[in-house]
Structure 1
Amino acid sequence: MSPLFWISLASMSAWCWLVSAHGLFWLTGTRLPACPPPAVWPDVAVVVPARDEAALLPVSLPSLLAQDYPGRFEVVLVDDGSTDGTGALGRALGEAHPSVRDGRTVLTVCSPGEPEPGWTGKLWAVNHGIAVARSRMPGLRHLLLTDADIEHGPGSLRALVSAAESDDLDLVSLMARLRVETPWERLIVPAFVYFFAQLYPFRRVNRAGSRTAAAAGGCVLLRDEAAARAGVPGGIRGAVIDDVSLARAVKRSGGRIRLGLADGVRSVRPYPGLGELWRMVSRCAYAQLGHSPLVLAGAVAALAVVYLLPPVAVVAGVWRGDGAAAAAGGCAWALMTVTYLPMLRHYRQPVLLAPSLPFTALLYLLMTVDSAVQHARGRGAAWKGRTYARPGTAREGAGG
């Protein structure tokens, strides 16, 4: 047997294991179940960190103010040093919204100032928003941490609280449905969620005895008592991938968490071109690998063997007359394609995109390498004018 066959066989074996023994990561049935309402609806504070989000706030903020929630809830919009009038726009949107005018909803707009050393901007804003919420609502039970680009359906908060109260969960997180409109979004976005689920299989995340923990930062309902017990956000103040770090802290402190896919929660942030999507992934990809060159090398090798080799083996096997290698590569490619179909259906995309997953994986491999290169050049993880160095080094200057 040729070396190409043995490598192809390794890829096929890897896919057999992924399909059957990796938490059924490829299935998309992990949705928020319908739960009975609590006897008493608890107090909830919605904390929205926002930095230069004036373009998206007119969609996201009214969706929060209009929540059909029977209990008391307040919205705290944290203007994190915006230069585009985000804070003023938030106040204007609140004054114009019927639920605020008639007293059904309270909106507070505040600003924490520049982050203290060691804090990422988002977590600094979240920490300030939580402090404001606690001072306003002494009986606070839950915190909904959501981003300024997330639009919530009217029943979103009700469903999250019902799930948390019914199943005694400390953290409930939903992966918002990301925007998929342009050709590049169709190619990149479903794969982004697919790869995330492969890294953190939702079923393992939701299993009490499992060490796997993750959350989707756009929509996290966190029990206030669990936040205090886990020491967050202060305990994860420098985390670039704050959602996963938050879930880990809660689970390690004994909390029960649930992660699922959302239907009524969606991101309205556009990523029209490859450049915007590239920056979205590369800004934190190396941080996901712990800033380790060895882990990076392993990730690149794994991506190459698991995703890139199968189509190469098919073409090379046919070209060289190596039927065994072509068959093994074809089987691996087929398994890969089949596992991608549920995510494409979730995003209502053509199934003909499924065989293109190796090409998308190649783009993600290049984005990850680029992320490491940027860190090597001292640029760290950059977002909206702020740059963060790798852990253990001095934090670089923050702009804006």
Structure 2
Amino acid sequence: MAYTSPAVVIDNGSYTTKAGFASEDLPSLVFSTNYAVDNKTGSVIVGDDEICAQPENEVMTLLDNGLIYNFDNIVHNWQYVYDNIDNHNAIDAKEFPLVLTEQSWNTSKNRLTATQIAFETLEVPIFSLVKTPIAQLYRAGRSTGLVIDVGASVTSVTPILDGIIQHKSCFHSKYAGNFVNLHVLDYLQSQSKQVVNNLLPKQYHGGSDSFKTYYISHNVLQDYKSLALNYQLRNYQLPNNTHIPVGDSTNFLESLFQPTLRKLPDVVIPEPVVDKPHTHGLTNLIFLCLKSLEASLLPPTNDSSSHNKLAKFTEIFKELLSNILITGGTSNGSGLPESIINDIRAMTQQYYSNYPFSYSIYPIRHSTGDSNETWDRQFGAWMGACNLASMLNDSNEQSNSVKIALDNWFVTKADYEELGEDLIVEKFK
């Protein structure tokens, strides 16, 4: 039987939380994943306007390395969604299925904790955890592909074959949007005489240090990257109304590919080590992923069926590199997708010259610009999770969508209460 209520879908990113009903085209709520703690009452404050209304409070994070670590307060983030999702009107969590996204390297302990909060604190009737790269690839209408996700705190490379993540060949690093922010901040401070308050509106000069960091990151740095870097401005206006020059040398996206290229004050950037993928920039991360996949798929030289397996491997690689999905908010940076695909082309021509690869990127970049492309990169995980969640509402009696969804992705509260942790470990592994 189909569910009549649309699922609530929440995509907790390190930078922003995207949330809305699965029946919607775009998330109705996009707000900072950070939260503040009221200095007087100790209550938790969620929401951009709410945090900025009291700059004296400390601002804190919920995620690290792309994973939720602060489960004591993530519930306030989810409750904020239920209180505001319907045009800033509250809904009852007990009446709507809930879908959350998760990174492919999430832990079983985290999954169990999230499920416990969903069923025991929020009391949702049905719940699912959807892998972010699976949702992104599903949104692109593909089951096989190489998902390159450049987000705020993490850059990840995930090969997916026939809907199955190849976990041993999945790699990620912290050289992502926040790392670019460090370089942008260093430049802005050098141009504004190293005075942090020059990067803040006057009403926030007395704010806590953590609030200042939060505001600069979510407003000034983001604004600089989206305007100065993407639109090639000659000058950029700071909040104190002074202007600083913007030159070609400030294309800090290069740091994603070569993290050690530019030094940062008081920041130690480790030299890349072959057996430590997290120490590498984006191009090498992709290369290590492909080499790992090659090692796991290629047959031994003494294998009697090696010729057939080699042919199969060639087809897999060809399909994988013909379906490259470049996504994540930071991937909207000017010229970044083209730089990634050019590096992949050069890399495969050098190391895999025997294979007749073709290259295609989804979504296709249009020369005139396309707002749908921007939304796909920024909200792809949320929209893909919505596509999966919408299967619960399929009222076509001839369709097996509801059964497929329940069998593969969702857990009901009744099943959770009966089967407990073992069911969660098996369903969301």
- TM-score bracket, normalised by the shorter chain, equals under 0.3
User: What TM-score does the superposition give when structure 1 sets the normalisation length?
Assistant: 0.27
Q: As a proportion of its length, which structure holds more helix? A: 1
